[in-house]
């Protein structure tokens, strides 16, 4: 089974909701190096990567933004569009050329308001993505700070 949009969204979005969402998505391309959004900006869109890699980064004055995490095929880029105050918490740039489905945040939020079942499904999906990334971040904390180390007795 190749990685696909279906593989990722299947986990949390039932087929009928997934199809509704994809109907309002549009295909878009980003050349290598293009910025998808900047930290602190208004979160008015989100994307699902079809090919390529997106890097999430953080603004550090006077330095190149350090990469926090990379996101690949089938992954959701952006969750701040779902939660007030709808402000990007990180920046994002295309590491390679990227093909993606782009979604208008206001349109999707309106669909969520108008159809409670669809809204629950979308929130469940984004929530699962968030939980997964939180767990990954915690695992990296363990690794980076050496809380767990291979040790032979000295």
Partner 1 sequence: MTAVPVPHRVVARRPETADTVTLRFEPVGRPLPDFLPGQFAMVHAFGRGEIPVSVSSVQATGGLAHTVRSVGAVSDGLCAVRVGDVVGIRGPYGTSWELERARGRDVVIVAGGIGFAPLRPLILGALAEPEAYRRINVLIGARTPSDLIARAEVASWATAYTGVTVDQPEPDWRGDVGVVTQLLGRAHFEPEETTAFVCGPEPMIRATARELIQHGVPHDRVQVSLERNMRCATGHCGHCQLGPVLVCQAGPVVDWAQAEPLLAVREL
Does position 66 bind partner 1 by CB under 8 A? yes
Residue closer to partner 1 (CB basis): 116 or 144: 144
Question: Which residues have CB under 8 Å from 146's CB, separation 6+?
Answer: none
Q: Is 136 in the site for partner 1 (CB under 8 A)?
A: yes
Q: Does 60 bind partner 1 (CB under 8 A)?
A: no
The first and second tokens of residue 147, run together, are 């809380």
Taking a C-beta distance cutoff of 8 angstroms, is the pair 93, 54 a contact?
yes
Position 144 contacts partner 1 (CB under 8 A) = yes
Does 148 help bind partner 1 (rule: CB under 8 A)?
yes
Closer residue to partner 1 in complex, CB, 23/154: 154
DSSP state of 42: B
What is the residue whose two structure tokens read 């700070």? 145
Nearest approach, Cβ of residue 42 and partner 1 (Å): 25
**How many Cα neighbours within 13 Å face the side chain of 143?**
6
Pairing label, strands 26-30, 76-77:
unpaired
- Quote the CA–CA distance of 118 and 123 in Å, as a whole number: 9
H or E element: which one contains 16? helix 15-23
User: 39-58: which residues touch partner 1 (CB under 8 A)?
Assistant: 53, 55
Residues 67-106 as x/- pattern, contact with partner 1 by CB under 8 A: xxxx-xxxx-------------------x-----------
CB of 55 to partner 1, least distance (A): 7
Residues in contact with partner 1 by CB under 8 A are: 1-3, 7-8, 53, 55, 64, 66-70, 72-75, 95, 135-136, 139-140, 142-144, 148-154
């Amino acid at each position: 089974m190749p990685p696909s949009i279906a593989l990722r969204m299947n986990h949390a979005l039932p087929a009928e909701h997934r199809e509704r969402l994809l109907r309002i998505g549009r295909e878009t391309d980003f050349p290598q190096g293009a910025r998808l959004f900047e930290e602190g900006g208004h979160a008015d869109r989100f994307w699902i990567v079809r090919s390529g890699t997106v890097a999430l980064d953080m603004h550090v004055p006077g330095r190149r933004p350090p990469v926090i995490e990379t996101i690949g095929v089938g992954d959701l880029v952006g969750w701040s569009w779902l939660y007030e105050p709808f402000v990007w918490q990180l920046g994002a740039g295309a590491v390679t050329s990227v093909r993606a489905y782009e979604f208008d945040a206001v349109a999707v939020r309106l669909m969520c308001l108008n159809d409670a079942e669809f809204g629950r499904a979308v929130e469940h999906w984004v929530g699962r993505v968030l939980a997964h990334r939180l767990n990954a971040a915690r695992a990296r904390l363990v690794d980076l700070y050496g809380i767990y180390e291979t040790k032979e007795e000295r």
